[in-house]
Chain A
Amino acid sequence: MKKKLVSLAISSILVSPAFANTLSNPQIGVVLDGYYQNGERNNSERSEGFGLGHTEISMSANIDDKFHGVLTTVLETHGDETELLLEEAFIQTLTMPYGFNIRGGRFLSDFGYMNNQHMHSDSFVERPVAYRTFLGSHYYDDGLRANLVLPTDMYIKLGVEALSGSKMSAVDDATAVGVYTTTLKIGDDFSESSSWQFGLSYLRNENGKVTSFEEHDHSTDGHDEHDHSHASAVTGTNLYGADFVWKWAPNGNYKYSNFTLSAEYMLLDDILDSKFKGEKDAPDTLAAYYVSGVYRFTPSWSAGMRYSDAESYDGHAHGDHVHLTSLSDSEIEAMVAWDSSHFGTVRAQYTRVENQDKATDNVFTLQYVMTFGAHGAHAF
């Protein structure tokens, strides 16, 4: 018995040096994202001309055998100013029993399909207009999450989150914990060649209902030239979401060719205080969705199409009454991307934008997204 232990100890000493290097160091990764575009999409973080997108520096490591930690900072430039944003700063449990894990700190909410994924892994230059209008492009916040993965052959994950909700607050005296979400994800393989995932999400926003409007100020439009606040353009008490994604590759070999189809639908409810109910164009519910298909036809080339539509509204006070206007944005987009390797992408994207007045705009973007250092694994 003793001999066994000794030989185990020796073999573990023998194998450790090769891996010591990464174990003792955090994984550090940088994402570089730059672009040129000849126009601007609505509710967007990217302005016309040359610009930098989501420049990211991230670090992650196991803190000990029980916790994992992640820090992601984003550098954003607006004109001459450079902002340092903290997008993720969380700890997560590694060894809780029964399929539980808990995350605390600042993180990307699990609402919907795309929201918890990092922007640099997206197939298009920007999040669809549905996300930009309802979730401020991508919704991250301070709070707590508990997830449970069931021990079943079909993937079933249940999650709940409690978040500060300050980015989604429509009122001045907001409650300290404003947003609660609950999500269900299920998924499986159809065959060796294709897999799917379906999700349902609900986001309760205690401070989402608009109770007052400012004079002549576009209080519900958080994204004018000088205010890149990452706030949602519209809010309400209830946000419902459904999402579906299907991926296919011949024999399940994703290297040479594959296809991804994804779609999400969101419905916003209880948007305005009841005192505005009788007003002309007062929205009862607002809906947004997108459908996207991306086909990789060689290891280094892919192409895709996306359609997205989002309803919103604009409102401001005029003395003793309010003026409300229904708005809508729809975008049809086509993109072609070339991957120089697994770590570099150059993308060209064309977007045809149409608003409530059927006015159209054409936006063409040329973008690169490249990473160096550690490159985290991608979610499905």
Chain B
Amino acid sequence: MLSAPALALNIFVCEPEWKALLAAHAPKATIYSATTALQDPHYVQARPSLIAKMRQADMAMCSGAELEIGWLPMLQARSSNPAVQNNKQSMLYASEIVSMLDTHHHVDRSMGDIHAYGNPHVQFAANDMIRISRVVSKRLESIDPANAFSYLVNGVKFREHWRKKLIEWEQRAEPLRGKQVVSYHETYRYLFDWLGMEQIADLEPKPGVSPTTAHLQSLTKLDPASFDAIIYSSHQNKRAANWLHQQTDKPVIQLPLTVSKGQTLDELYDRVLDDLLNVLVEPVKD
């Protein structure tokens, strides 16, 4: 090691997946996540405790693409912290690195809460994690040059491990290819894209608009052969999924939105694959 830090880096992240990612690159840093796996990242209060955390941050990382538009700009402004303003090296958006899906040239709010920059739920953009890791390493190196070498080494280790896991996951997920599901809010757009699964309908009538009775009724008219399961996320209301389950007898899968406390990013991916394989293929042995 070249030198120890005078003070550990203080990092603010909007979602727990970025805490997990950054912890792998900067294990000594103090990382605070603004949200948990049970909270919808669109609806967060720009509350005093978050402003106080933002004020102290040396670096911040968020998903971006307007996911946090209802609260992050308020935190940036109120924190009076130059390090977390847009276009600073120390303010990092994952969606600026990921190859975004569902970008729109024309956005009208009658289409629901969609984002011109594409679907912002990028925590399962598996292949892009390599690129994100590279940028994260570089940014950490420039913010904290004294520890640049350890960020470089940790980044290389993370990517090496991730590449191995990608091969393993893709082999395990082979039986999931072509599976069709009904899901909620296109939260798993990147996951399904990666695994070759297809979402044929959404429990929400339009992105960000809560399931309505009329819309759910229309889903019961779907050809039963056209989908294999109903998938929703840990922070979403389970009523709509359960209702459709009762009507159609299709299995319901609740997937985690993001890492749970202390979980690493690859453990999250392991868990998600287990959950999918358990129901869609056959129970996984522990």
* Cβ distance B91 to chain A, nearest Cβ, rounded Å: 12
CB distance from B74 to the nearest CB of A (A): 4
A243 to chain B, nearest CB (A): 13
Task: Give the complex CA separation of A99 and B79 in angstroms.
Answer: 7
Known: A377-B70, A380-B48. A255 touches B135 (CB 8 A): no
A76 CA to B136 CA, complexed, in Å: 49
Q: Which of A154, A342, A377 contacts B71 (CB 8 A)?
A: A377
Which residues of the other chain, A, contact B86 by a CB distance below 8 angstroms? 62
Q: Are A95's CB and B52's CB within 8 A?
A: no
**In the complex, which residues of chain A have a beta carbon less than 8 angstroms from the beta carbon of B56?**
151, 153
Q: A254-B43, A255-B43, A379-B74 are in contact. Are A187 and B79 (CB under 8 A)?
A: no
| Chain B neighbourhood of A300, CB < 8 A | 210
Interface readout for A172-200 with B: 1 if CB under 8 Å, 0 if not?
00000000000001111100100111000
From B15-23, B96-104, B171-179, B242-250, the one touching the partner chain is B96-104
Using CB atoms, name the residue of chain B closest to A299. Answer: B210
Please give the distance in Å from A336's CB to the nearest CB on chain B: 18
Which residues of chain B are within 8 angstroms of A156 by Cβ–Cβ distance?
52
Nearest chain A CB to B189 CB, angstrom units: 16
Given A11-B135, A188-B48: A378 touches B71 (CB 8 Å cut-off): yes
Give min CB distance, A247 to chain B, whole Å. Answer: 6
Chain A residues whose C-beta falls within 8 Å of the C-beta of B87 in the assembled complex? 65
Q: Chain A: which residue is nearest B72 at the CB level?
A: A377
Contact B39 A377 (CB under 8 A): no
| Binary flags per residue of A1-22, CB closer than 8 Å to B gives 1, else 0 | 0001000100100010011010
Q: Does A297 contact B (CB under 8 A)?
A: no
Which of B77, B82, B118 contacts A96 (CB under 8 A)? B82
Q: Is B109 touching A343 in the complex (CB atoms < 8 A)?
A: yes
Q: Is B284 an interface residue (CB 8 A)?
A: no
**Is A49 among interface residues, defined by CB-CB distance under 8 A?**
no
* Contact digits for A247-264, partner B, Cβ 8 Å, 1 yes 0 no: 100011111100000000
B window 101-133: CB within 8 A of A = 103, 109, 112-113, 116-118
On whether the beta carbons of B45 and A195 are closer than 8 Å, the reply is yes
**CB <8 Å contact, A195 and B55:** no
Contact of A252 among B36, B80, B113, B209 (CB under 8 A): B36
The docked-state distance in angstroms from the alpha carbon of A146 to that of B237 is: 43
* Interface mask (A121-147 → B, CB under 8 Å = 1, otherwise 0): 000000000000000000000000001
Task: Tell me the dominant secondary structure on chain A's binding face.
Answer: mixed
Q: How far is the CB of A201 from chain B (nearest CB, A)?
A: 16
Structural contact, B52 and A154, CB atoms closer than 8 A: yes
* A99 touching B55, Cβ below 8 Å: yes
A324 contacts the other chain (CB 8 A): no
Cβ-defined contact, A15 with B97, below 8 A = yes
Q: Which residues of B contact A94 (CB under 8 A)?
A: 82, 85
Q: Is B208 close to A, CB under 8 A?
A: yes
In the complex, A15→B87 CA distance in Å?
A: 12
Report the Cα distance A65→B76, complex, angstroms: 13
Tell which of A8, A100, A149, A341 touches B209, judged by Cβ atoms closer than 8 Å.
A341
Contact indicator per residue, chain A 90-105, by CB within 8 Å of chain B (1) or not (0): 0010111101110000
Q: How distant is the Cα of A314 from the Cα of B65 in the complex, in angstroms?
A: 54
Chain B residues with Cβ below 8 Å from A187 are 47-49, 51-52
- 30 chain-A/chain-B pairs, Cβ below 8 angstroms: A18-B103, A21-B116, A65-B85, A100-B80, A101-B80, A149-B81, A150-B55, A152-B52, A154-B52, A155-B49, A156-B52, A187-B52, A188-B52, A189-B47, A251-B39, A252-B36, A252-B38, A253-B40, A255-B43, A299-B210, A300-B210, A342-B208, A343-B109, A375-B70, A377-B69, A377-B72, A378-B70, A378-B74, A379-B74, A379-B78
Top-6 shortest CB links A-B: A187-B48, A155-B48, A95-B82, A377-B74, A155-B52, A251-B38
Given contacts A187-B52, A189-B49, A378-B46, 13 further A-B contacts (CB under 8 A): A18-B117, A19-B96, A65-B85, A95-B85, A149-B78, A149-B79, A151-B55, A187-B51, A195-B47, A253-B39, A256-B237, A341-B113, A342-B70
